[in-house]
Every structure is written in structure tokens, then in C-alpha cells.
Structure 1
């Protein structure tokens, strides 16, 4: 099932339940990518050796 088909089903279900329809697919893609990029710039990824060490020490 692709995004358009899922959106059609969600819109139909919302109409039957009397809820507002969901936003169309792709509407917030640009903002989401911008937010992810900003997060990536401000929170650098954890190096693999630190990640393995952290996973081994947590209960």
C-alpha cells in the first residue's frame, strides 16, 4: 500500500468517525527534513565504540 492509498483510507475512516481529515502525504516533508538536519548539526552521532560500550554497561 502506498502513501496515497493509506491517505484515502485514513480520510474515509475520519469521515465515518466525524473527525477532521489527516493532512495529505508530503505536506510537512520540507519542515521535517529541515528539523532533522538541524538536529543532526547540533547532536553529532555517537561513535560506534562508545555506543557498544554504552550498550554493554546498561542493565
Structure 2
């Protein structure tokens, strides 16, 4: 059963019982994304790490040729200017 079919069935059952209809699928998706982001920032603060800029810093390291994990693997040295 697809999400749409389940939603239509739930809407029909709610109408039969005189209850309010459930929210449409995807209605609260952005709220969930914001809550997950906020939780990640909270966990970073609790673990005494920077709460902002972690993704941008990781992408910058990747662009410079580093690794995302920050492991002790051998890296190719950059040429000096």
C-alpha cells in the first residue's frame, strides 16, 4: 500500500468516525528537517565541538584534497607556492 493510499484510507476512516482528518503526507517534512538540524547542533555543543560550520569545513577539507574522516592516512602533499 502506498503512502497516498494509506492517507486516503485514514481520511475515510476519520470521516466515518467524525474525527479530524490526519495531516497530508509531507506536510511536516521541513519541520522534521529543522528539528534534526537543531538536535545535531545541540549534540555538538554537548560534546564541546563547534555547533556551526561543520559541513562547510568538511567540504573545504575535501576540496583541498583532505579526507572527511580526518584519519591518519597518508596525504599527497600540496606543492608550495
Q: TM-score, normalised by structure 1?
A: 0.68
Q: Which runs of 5+ in 2 are unaligned?
A: 45-81
Q: Which runs of 5+ in 1 are unaligned?
A: 45-59
Decide which structure has the larger Cα Rg and report it.
Answer: 2
Aligned to 2:18: 18
Q: Which has the higher helix share?
A: 1
Q: TM-score, normalised by structure 2?
A: 0.51
The runs of 4+ residues in structure 1 deviating greater than 6 Å are: none
Q: Which has the higher contact order (CA 8 A, sep 6+)?
A: 1
For the aligned residues, what is the CA RMSD? 1.5
User: How far 1:37 sits from its partner (Å)?
Assistant: 1.1
Number of equivalences: 45
